[in-house]
Amino acid sequence: MDIRWLLGFIEGEGCFCIVIKKSGKTGNSKQVVADFTIKLTESEREVLEKIREYLGGIGHIYFQSSKSSRKKGLTNARDCVAFKVTKLQEAKKIVDLLNDMDFVSNSKKAEFLAWKKCINLMERKEHLTKEGLFKIALLRETIDKRKQWNKKSYCEFRNEIEECSEYRKHKIIPENCNICKEGLK
């Protein structure tokens, strides 16, 4: 295995995500996780083990059952394994490894660069501030284009922490509102 093969594999099967979740007993504080994942069918576990070994043993490999998907009628659903890196120090190793690489996919490179910015903000402890959380939420929105059932938009997230002037004025989030985002770019 070499770095160019790994980069191509990451561009095809890898995922750079930013997760913001409630933490603490009251759920009022937020935890930020820079999540890197490669997910394959269970029969390909050996590939993920070799990738993990190549990366120096960082991250973990998890089994993901398709049982609930099959119960919902998705008869072709298959059990999967996922290689995940979520610890900040280990995510930095992924950044160092891929930082100077020439991505073929412009969209995957953009996702990587936004993920890298999130890691840099976390390293500087900016994720512990309101402004830093807003910056990270905006980066998350540029990476995760698909709508997840539990993922709030940037504006929904921001208004949970502090209402913006437009929301205070109209009591709704205006469609295509970019007022709050402009100050963070």
Rounded to whole angstroms, the Cα distance separating 155 from 185 reads 15
pTM of the predicted protein model? 0.81
Please name the fold of domain 3-151: Endonuclease I-creI (3.10.28)
> Per mean pLDDT, which range of 4-18, 40-54, 75-89 is the poorest?
75-89
State the pLDDT confidence band at 149, using cuts at 50, 70 and 90: very low
User: CA 180, CA 20: separation in Å to the nearest integer?
Assistant: 19
- pLDDT tens-digit series, residues 81-116: 999 999 999 999 999 999 999 999 999 999 999 999
Domain spans of the chain, in order of start: 3-151
CA distance to 7, 30, 157, 185, per residue, from 152 (Å): 30, 13, 6, 19
Which residue stretches of 124-173 are H helix? 130-143, 154-161, 165-170
Yes or no: say if 8 and 104 are a contact pair by the CB < 8 Å rule: yes
